[in-house]
Amino acid sequence: MDERDPSYWVSINPTRGGITPPQPPTRSGERTGQVLLLAMLVLFLVDTFLPWQRQCVDLNDFGFHIAGCLSANAWSGTAAHIGQAAGVLAIATIAVLGVRLGSVDLGEGGEVALRVGVYGTAAAGGLKWVLVIWRLAAFGAWIGLLLLLAIAILESIDWFGIR
């Protein structure tokens, strides 16, 4: 068969015993939600490199004045392994979502991988936030919390079909 022949692009569905046309592209609203989810995941990944914890010191004793601040991002500091898990899950989810937006059909496995990645990122990032909030939290932790809530809400709206 030749690719220029229209019957080349028709798939055979063995469960129905007939020929079915290829599936139409996803709805524009669904695609817009996926692009928005991708953007929020990228923003969260960037946020993991911002300060999640910060401690400033100002010593003025014996004629010496020493001042400075130390900070740690989500990949380090308190519960570093949980922040690293959130970052790695975010990277993997960005990759799966990017491939999916590139019109590659990943089937049901891709759908499950996407959901596990999104909710895994939200859970790990939320746990990191809970463990950091009691220990010198900085602005990156608060931005991360807002992004994680938005990511989880957007994915839940898509999953449950709320419109």
Residue 61 tokens, joined: 């004793």
Which range marks the domain in which residue 91 is found?
26-160
Residue 9 lies inside a defined structural domain of this protein: no
Residue 19 lies inside a defined structural domain of this protein: no
Count of structural domains, the chain: 1
Residue 16 lies inside a defined structural domain of this protein: no
3-state SS assignment for residue 69: strand
Predicted pLDDT of residue 163: 56
Predicted pLDDT of residue 16: 55
Residue 3 lies inside a defined structural domain of this protein: no
Residue 67 lies inside a defined structural domain of this protein: yes
Predicted pLDDT of residue 49: 95
Q: Please, are residues 135 and 83 in contact by the beta-carbon 8 Å criterion?
A: no
In tens digits, the chain (163 residues) has pLDDT values of 566 666 655 555 555 555 554 444 455 667 888 899 999 999 999 999 999 998 888 888 888 888 888 899 999 988 899 999 999 999 999 999 999 888 888 888 888 999 999 999 999 999 999 999 888 888 999 999 999 999 999 888 877 776 5
Residue 40 tokens, joined: 């929020």
Q: Can you give the pTM of this predicted structure?
A: 0.75
Residue 78 tokens, joined: 């308190």
Predicted pLDDT of residue 24: 43
